[in-house]
Amino acid sequence: MKRVLFTYSLFLFVSNIIFSAPIDTGMREWFQPNSVRFNARMYGDEFLMRFTTDDNYEIIEGIGRWYFYATLNEN
C-alpha cells in the first residue's frame, strides 16, 4: 500500500512540474507608467508569453514596467 501511495504521489508531483498552465487575457487595456493607454493581448504559458496588439506588433516590457512596440522581421 505504501508503494502505491508513494508512486501515485510521485506521479502527481512530476505531472505538476511538466505541464504548463495556459493563459490568454484577450484584448484588454494596459497602462504605461505615465498613464498612456494601449490595447494588447497577452497569451502563452509560464514558459513562453506573447504580448501583441491588434496590428500584430509585438510588445516588449522594459525596465520600470515601460512597454515598447517591436516589429518582427528577419533580424
Cell numbers 498613464: residue: 35
Domain boundary assignment for the chain:
20-75
The number of CA neighbours under 13 Å toward the Cβ of 57 is: 13
Tens-of-pLDDT digits for all 75 residues of the chain?
778 787 877 776 666 556 667 888 889 998 899 988 989 999 988 778 888 988 888 888 888 888 888 776 676
Using CB atoms within 10 Å of the CB of residue 13, give its burial: 0 to 12 exposed, 13 to 18 middle, 19+ buried. exposed
Locate the DSSP E strands across 1-75.
23-31, 37-44, 49-52, 58-61, 67-70
Q: Report pTM.
A: 0.58
